[in-house]
């Protein structure tokens, strides 16, 4: 097995070297000062986001209830008003989708989607604001671009190693499998967890500035923990464990509390009476 380890170390060094060269030529900085690899033009990311959003609207029913839509808009608008970077010229498009999963998303180009199922878990305006702020945090931190860029570089690196090894090598599959797992668990997943934690903190600041109580972000993730069932081990997940996430938020809430207290207004958004408890199949 010593020869295999030697092979792996040799090609991993070459892979890391390729990554380093690309990183130095395409380096960016996130809103929280973290170095990023960003390869795609933002116009291309916006086009991809708009296309994905249109595809979503064509496949998933859109919620028509005015009370649900006005509530989500009431929470979203004060948050987007505090977005100073990556804000779309034509404003943010917000759509509520009739989907029972507790989910929301934001896409480059100013697209925000909220699933009706989220309203059963994010039970207050501030809890919903924590989710929406988090998703917008992904956009303004260019996490989508970063993930695409890292995946492209990893694929290029692995393709180069594969070409050098030659698929006639009797240990080709074993070596490529080991390299692929190394890229996935050693690079892509940890970076995804970093991005999730970063979006949590960006979202926390956004919701506080918008006048939503940041302490309710902790309650939100406690709700998520109770409703989400089991999670895979943290090192195998793209998201931090609920306990890790809650602890990070608890440490950060006192730092943004002054922003909440200084907010010129506190939005008064009334959750719809039918929202969290109304079955989609009954509509």
Task: Give the residue numbers marked as catalytic.
Answer: 135
Q: Is 28 helix (H, G, I), strand (E, B) or coil?
A: strand
The total number of residues shown for the chain amounts to 283
Q: Collect contacts of 66-69 with beta carbons under 8 A, ≥24 apart.
A: 67/272, 67/273, 67/274, 67/275, 68/96, 68/116, 68/119, 68/272, 68/274, 68/275, 69/96
Q: Is 98 helix (H, G, I), strand (E, B) or coil?
A: coil
Closest by Cα among 20, 45, 52, 44 to 187: 20
Q: How far apart are CA 145 and CA 235, in angstroms?
A: 22
Helix (H) or strand (E) holding 112: strand 111-115
């Amino acid at each position: 097995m010593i020869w295999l380890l030697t092979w792996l170390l040799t090609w991993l060094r070459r892979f890391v070297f390729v990554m380093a060269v690309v990183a130095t030529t395409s380096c960016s900085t996130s809103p929280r000062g973290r170095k990023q690899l960003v390869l795609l033009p933002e116009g291309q990311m916006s086009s991809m986001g708009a296309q994905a959003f249109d595809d979503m609207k064509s496949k998933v029913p859109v919620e028509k209830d005015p009370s649900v839509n006005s509530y989500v808009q009431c929470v979203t608008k004060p948050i987007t008003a505090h977005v100073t970077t990556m804000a779309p010229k034509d404003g943010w498009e917000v759509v509520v989708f009739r989907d029972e999963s507790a989910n929301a998303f934001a896409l480059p180009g100013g697209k925000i989607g909220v699933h009706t199922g989220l309203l059963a878990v994010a039970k207050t305006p501030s809890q919903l604001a924590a989710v929406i702020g988090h998703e917008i945090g992904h956009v303004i931190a260019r996490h989508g671009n970063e993930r695409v860029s890292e995946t492209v570089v990893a694929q290029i690196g692995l393709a180069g190693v594969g070409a050098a090894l030659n698929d006639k090598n009797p240990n080709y599959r074993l070596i490529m499998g080991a390299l692929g797992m190394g890229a996935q668990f050693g690079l892509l997943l940890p970076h995804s967890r970093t991005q999730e934690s970063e979006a949590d903190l960006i979202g926390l600041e956004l919701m506080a500035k918008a006048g939503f109580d940041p302490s309710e972000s902790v309650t939100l993730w406690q709700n998520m923990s109770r409703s989400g069932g089991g999670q895979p081990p943290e090192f195998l997940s793209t998201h931090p464990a609920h306990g890790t996430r809650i602890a990070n938020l608890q440490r950060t809430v006192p730092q943004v509390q002054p922003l909440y207290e200084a907010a010129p207004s506190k939005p008064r958004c009334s959750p719809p009476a039918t929202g969290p408890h109304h079955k989609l199949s009954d509509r």
